[in-house]
Each structure stands twice: as structure tokens, then as C-alpha cells.
Chain A
Amino acid sequence: GAVVSQHPSWVICKSGTSVKIECRSLDFQATTMFWYRQFPKQSLMLMATSNEGSKATYEQGVEKDKFLINHASLTLSTLTVTSAHPEDSSFYICSAVTWAGTRDNEQFFGPGTRLTVL
């Protein structure tokens, strides 16, 4: 159980376009989802915390107008990279939290989305 999916798994887009990435909890309800960004050979950096039905909370240095997050239901959060540029190319990973799990605050991670901006 506790499966998280992401779509698409990879995407290539032209500079200036917008890209939407979906994060779904398949078999549980997630009141909170997190979005991370990971550059090659580096660690995961938290971008924002997404709570169902409310505005996302962004980490310091993350542009909220560039990385739009919507968490409209208990099983879906979306990240839209607006006006993407080559420096936005990265591996984007989401995680979801279920408070009914056996471990407090356990985050279940999605498989990631590889974004390449040309």
C-alpha cells in the first residue's frame, strides 16, 4: 500500500513554455504533499509543502509565481513550472503523507519526473 505516482515520468519542453507535473496518492488520502527538486549528483531540496484545500507554503528562495502548486483533492497535487528555462531542468519528486500510517509523518515518495528544458 501507500503508492504515490507521478505523471509524466519525463518531459522535454522548449524554453518559455509551462509544464504541469501531477502527483497522485493511489491508495490513500494525503492531506499533505511535498515537492522536492533534485539536481544531478545532489540531494533533494524541499521546494514547498502542499496542503489540500489551502495555499502551498514555499521554502525560502523558491519563487511561488514560477512554481505553481495546486492541491485540489486528497489524492492529487500538481506542480506547474511556468515559463520554464534551461536552469529549471531537474528531477522533481513529490511525496505524500498519510496520518494513518504506522510511522508518524512517514512520507511516501513518487518515482520522480525528469524535466529537460531546451
Chain B
Amino acid sequence: GESVGLHLPTLSVQEGDNSIINCAYSNSASDYFIWYKQESGKGPQFIIDIRSNMDKRQGQRVTVLLNKTVKHLSLQIAATQPGDSAVYFCAENDSWGKLQFGAGTQVVVTP
């Protein structure tokens, strides 16, 4: 079936460095993607989204890149801080408004 998945289950990053989290999707018809951050014991928090008519979108310290040719999505976090430690999910939003989440990447920020 269609799926959205991540390459790396755990990412250890030194404070101040940039983080890159990757995500692969299989449904070439997908046209809307969202990145979420989930802290332990909490619900997902919206970070940034991107539509398929774009290949890059920037927010505050975050950038999402979309490569439709290889069906790949990435989230870049600049100057990673301890507060960025969390699990990050990419999600694919279908035409019915339902989200399909990827497996998630645990980001651990070390001092």
C-alpha cells in the first residue's frame, strides 16, 4: 500500500549544528506534506508544510525540501537547540484531509 517512511530512526546532533531529517513517500499523487514535532507525552505540533507545487519552503530556523522526482522530503533545522530534542514525523495529507504519518525520527541534541 501507499506509505510514508523515514530513513533514520535516531539522529544525534551536537548543539548548534544543523539537523537534517529525511522522509520518503511512495504515493506520487501526494500533493501536501507536513512536518510535526512530538515531545514526550504530548501531541504532535505543526512545524511546517509544503505543497507539491513547491520544492522549498522556509520557516523560522526550519526549511523543508521536496524532491518529487525521487519522492523525498527533508526537514532541516538550523542551529539545533536542546529544545529541539523530540520525535519528528513527516505526514502526507490526502484529499480527504486524512494524515498518514511516517515512522518518525528521534532527534537527540547533545551539549
Q: Give me the interface of A with B, judged by CB distance under 8 Å.
A: 4, 6, 32, 34, 42-46, 49, 91, 93, 95, 97, 103-112, 114
From B44, B102, B104, contact of A93 by CB (8 A): B44
State which residues 85-100 of B face A: CB under 8 Å.
89, 93, 96-100
Q: Give me the interface of B with A, judged by CB distance under 8 Å.
A: 32, 36, 41-46, 49, 89, 93, 96-104
Nearest-CB residue, chain A, relative to B4: A43
Q: For residue A32, which residues in chain B have a CB less than 8 angstroms away from its CB?
A: 97
Q: Are B43 and A93 in contact, CB atoms less than 8 angstroms apart? A: yes
From B43, B101, B102, contact of A110 by CB (8 A): B43
Q: Are B100 and A46 in contact, CB atoms less than 8 angstroms apart? A: yes
Q: Are B45 and A112 in contact, CB atoms less than 8 angstroms apart? A: no
Q: Are A43 and B93 in contact, CB atoms less than 8 angstroms apart? A: no
Q: Are B98 and A49 in contact, CB atoms less than 8 angstroms apart? A: yes
Q: For residue A109, which residues in chain B have a CB less than 8 angstroms away from its CB?
A: 36, 43-45
A-B contact pairs, 14 of them (CB 8 A): A4-B43, A34-B99, A43-B102, A44-B89, A44-B101, A46-B98, A46-B99, A91-B41, A105-B32, A108-B46, A109-B43, A111-B42, A112-B41, A114-B41
Q: For residue A104, which residues in chain B have a CB less than 8 angstroms away from its CB?
A: 32
